[in-house]
Amino acid sequence: MKKLGFGLMRLPLLPGEDQSKIDLEAVKRMVDIFMDRGFTYFDTAYPYHGGMSEETLREAVVRRYPRESFTVTDKLPCWEIHTPDDLERIFNEQLARCGVDYFDYYWLHALNRARVADMERLGAWEFIARKKAEGRIRHIGFSFHDSSDLLEELLRDHPETECVQLQINYIDWDDASIEARRCYELCEAAGKPVIVMEPVKGGSLARVPREVERLFTDYAPEASPASWAVRYAASLPGVMMVLSGMSDMAQIDDNTSFMRDFVPLNDDERRIVERAAQIIRGTIAIPCTACHYCTAGCPMGICIPEYFAIYNSLYRYGEEQRGNTSTYFGVLSQSHGKPGDCIACGQCEEQCPQHIAIIENLKKVAASFEH
Of 281, 316, 337, the residue that ends a domain is 281
Contact between 188 and 275 (Cβ < 8 Å): no
Range of lowest pLDDT (241-255, 263-277, 319-333, 341-355): 319-333
pLDDT in tens, 271-319: 999 999 999 988 888 989 889 899 988 999 999 999 998 888 788 767 7
The answer to whether residues 143 and 190 belong to one domain is yes
pLDDT in tens, 69-105: 999 999 999 999 999 999 999 999 999 999 999 999 9
The answer to whether residues 266 and 334 belong to one domain is no
The answer to whether residues 52 and 164 belong to one domain is yes
The answer to whether residues 312 and 231 belong to one domain is no
- Tell whether the model's pLDDT for residue 176 goes beyond 90: no
- Tell whether the model's pLDDT for residue 40 goes beyond 70: yes
Q: Note whether residue 293 is domain-resident.
A: no
The answer to whether residues 211 and 348 belong to one domain is no
Of 249, 281, 313, the residue that ends a domain is 281
The answer to whether residues 198 and 249 belong to one domain is yes
pLDDT of 153 reads: 98
Looking at the chain, the whole-number percentage of residues with pLDDT higher than 70 is 99
- Residues contacting residue 158 through CB under 8 Å, at least 6 positions apart: 125
**CA nearest to 291, candidates 6, 2, 1, 7:** 7
Of 247, 281, 315, the residue that ends a domain is 281
The answer to whether residues 106 and 198 belong to one domain is yes
The answer to whether residues 178 and 321 belong to one domain is no
Q: Note whether residue 61 is domain-resident.
A: yes
If you average pLDDT over residues 185-208, what whole number do you get?
95
pLDDT of 312 reads: 85
**Residue numbers of the domain that contains 309:** 304-369
Q: Note whether residue 204 is domain-resident.
A: yes
The answer to whether residues 107 and 199 belong to one domain is yes
pLDDT bracket for residue 17 (50, 70, 90): low
Q: Note whether residue 216 is domain-resident.
A: yes
The answer to whether residues 249 and 329 belong to one domain is no
The count of domains in the chain is 2
Q: Note whether residue 292 is domain-resident.
A: no
- CA 231 to chain CA centroid, nearest Å: 16
Pairing of strands 41-43, 239-244: unpaired
**CA nearest to 188, candidates 172, 159, 171, 164:** 164
The answer to whether residues 203 and 146 belong to one domain is yes
Q: Note whether residue 151 is domain-resident.
A: yes
Q: Note whether residue 36 is domain-resident.
A: yes
**CA nearest to 209, candidates 286, 323, 316:** 316
If you average pLDDT over residues 196-212, what whole number do you get?
92
CATH code assigned at 248? 3.20.20.100
Per DSSP, the three-state class of 163 is strand
The answer to whether residues 35 and 91 belong to one domain is yes
Q: Note whether residue 51 is domain-resident.
A: yes
